Amino acid sequence: MEQFKPDVNGFYGEFGGAFVPEMLYPNVQELQHNYLEIISSKSFQEEFHALLNDYVGRPTPLYFSKNLSAQFNAQIYLKREDLCHTGAHKINNTIGQILLAKRLGKQKIIAETGAGQHGVATATACALMNMECCIYMGDIDIARQQPNVERMQLLGATVVASTSGSKTLKDATNDAIRAWINNPTDTHYIIGSVVGPHPYPDMVSIFQSVISKEIQFQLQEKINRNYPDYVIACVGGGSNAMGAFYHFIDNKKTTLIAVEAAGNGIQTNKTAATIALGKKGIIHGSKTYLIQTEDGQIIEPHSISAGLDYPGIGPAHAYLHDSTKSSVVSITDDEAIQAAFDLSKKEGIIPALETAHALAYLHKMQFKKDDVVVVNLSGRGDKDMLTYKKYL
């Protein structure tokens, strides 16, 4: 179906794989054996694309920003994933996974969430498909992304607080995996990014690849050329970046830039810049880079943005980075806040704090006037008003 694939065991080079406790083998193997056949079937594709079009609101616009283009002296386009139903790219994946879960005969859904966007997108898909839904979310994230907690509850989901570790995304993921071990047969775990054991990184990449597919035909329509010079996207686990990169990975004319969260700065110990500081290891079922101590203990990450506050990165991004097919850079909390305020005032678009990291990187680039730049606007900022208010 698509060209950028791991090997049969889920490895991108040396990264990826499926390092799971024995109790999870049946679930993970069931997915590994069935996902490609199910999602490439005609009936799945028809149902998936009908929902993406009529329920999610795809294709999302590729908006040419005159103001940013003038400011940065380049041709700047914003891929408006913020205009998806529920306000972020996350729903592309949850619609795909819920259709898969139905076909596997599952009755219950569990998921982790950081910013709450994946939790809301999962709760939405569950409401649509009449599935029971339980979302794990770190205590700190419950406080800083309050509007999304209430949305999940309104949609009928149970939100369970994760109170261990840094009480953020990593800890919510640990709890979701634990819950899956306890309910192996009737439950599907909808992972929200290109992380986790094989086949999740590949499966989520395929569902999100609709983003770059649309960029291709939208650029063709607008500028008679189907690729940009640059794609810039923020990276937590890496799903919006992978979706925006996917169809350009083998195009040497396109530079792929993944922006991770530096938090207070990569020289401080309050950061989530995994590629900048991480070493190889295993987290949540796959081999990748992660921020850890000399003896392999995970260092609690920090980012002002709940969705980027994660000590690992999807294995495909680790591979793209090591093979120099992408550049991974970082942006601090303060730079992200500034970029969010700039876009709000200059374009009338309030971006998510995660997305603001990608926007902030525009300031660090030197473009030529004709360069075509696509920034993936992964989500809208309503959920971040509590944080933005502090800087008004």
Q: For helices 200-208 and 25-40, what crossing angle results, to 10°?
A: 30
Report how far Cα 159 is from the mean position of its chain's Cα atoms: 20
What are the Cα distances from residue 83, in Å, to 55, 58, 247, 379?
12, 9, 21, 8
Nearer Cβ to ligand PLP (23/386): 386
What residues from 70 to 109 belong to the interface with ligand PLP (CB under 6 A)?
88
Of residues 217-236, those binding ligand PLP (CB under 6 A)? 234-236
Q: How far is the CB of 376 from ligand PLP (least distance, A)?
A: 9
| DSSP string for residues in 292-361 | B-TTSPBPPP--SSGGG--SB--HHHHHHHHTTSSEEEEEEHHHHHHHHHHHHHHHS--B-HHHHHHHHG
Among positions 167-196, residues that touch ligand PLP (CB under 6 A) are 193
Min separation Cβ 80 and ligand PLP, Å: 12
Please pick, among 81, 112, 260, 335, the residue that the annotation labels catalytic.
Answer: 112
Query: For residues 236 and 371, which CB has a smaller minimum distance to ligand PLP in the complex?
Result: 236
Nearer CB in complex with ligand PLP: 75/356:
356
By CB under 6 A, is residue 307 in contact with ligand PLP? yes
| Buried/exposed code over 347-367 (b: 16+ C-beta within 10 A; e: otherwise) | bebbbbbbbbbbbbbbeebeb
Which amino acid appears at position 21 of this protein?
Answer: P
112 is catalytic: yes
Pick 271 or 355: Cβ nearer ligand PLP: 355
Cβ of residue 380: shortest distance to ligand PLP, in angstroms?
A: 8
> Which residue in 90, 106, 287, 325 is the catalytic one?
90
209: contact with ligand PLP by CB under 6 A: no
- By CB under 6 A, tell whether 379 contacts ligand PLP: yes
Using CA atoms, how far apart are residues 46 and 40, in angstroms rounded to an integer?
A: 10
For residues 164 and 173, is the Cβ–Cβ distance under 8 A? no
CA distance 50 to 114: 28
Task: Give the residue numbers marked as catalytic.
Answer: 90, 112, 378
Q: Which residues contribute to the site for ligand PLP (CB under 6 A)?
A: 88, 114-115, 117-118, 193, 234-241, 307-308, 352, 354-355, 378-379
